[in-house]
Amino acid sequence: MEDLSDRTLSITKTFNAPLELLWKVLTTPEHIVYWWGPDGFTNTIEKMEVKVGGKWEFIMHGPDGTEYVNKYTYSKIEPNKEIVLAHLATPKFTIIISLSQEGEKTQVKWQNIFDSVPSKEEAVRAFKADEGLRQNLEKLANYLQEQVV
């Protein structure tokens, strides 16, 4: 199997939430709109068809007023287990979100696999994609805590 580590941003985090809740907040626009993206960003979800071949289209609104149009297509949906989706614009990358239950908690392995090393390096340099991924999962953890309470 090809080693993709040089073009992958990866993070594994255990959430204090049941698997079903985590799946729900990853796959429904009514939830994802509140936590997706780096700190200070908000979202307008235009379409979210969580099925193989389905489209996810949304606009991320940056704190400086910049709007980032995002278009993804889902290539794999395995309920409560795995989501695979491709970012269709530049930089091109695939997100693989794998979930596993650990008692009352849920472990998430999140990978952004870029089409090339230069593409990953540019995403980190221009968009701080590495820090954005970390912040995204922190926002998810905070949102889940609000949902559990």
The class level of CATH for 5-148 reads alpha beta
Percent of the chain exceeding pLDDT 70 equals: 98
Backbone φ, ψ for residue 53 (5° rounding): 85, -5
The confidence score (pLDDT) of residue 117 equals: 96
Which bin fits 132, alpha (ψ -120 to 50), beta or left (φ > 0)? alpha
The confidence score (pLDDT) of residue 1 equals: 67
Assessment of whether the complete model's pTM goes beyond 0.75: yes
Q: Domain extents for the chain? A: 5-148
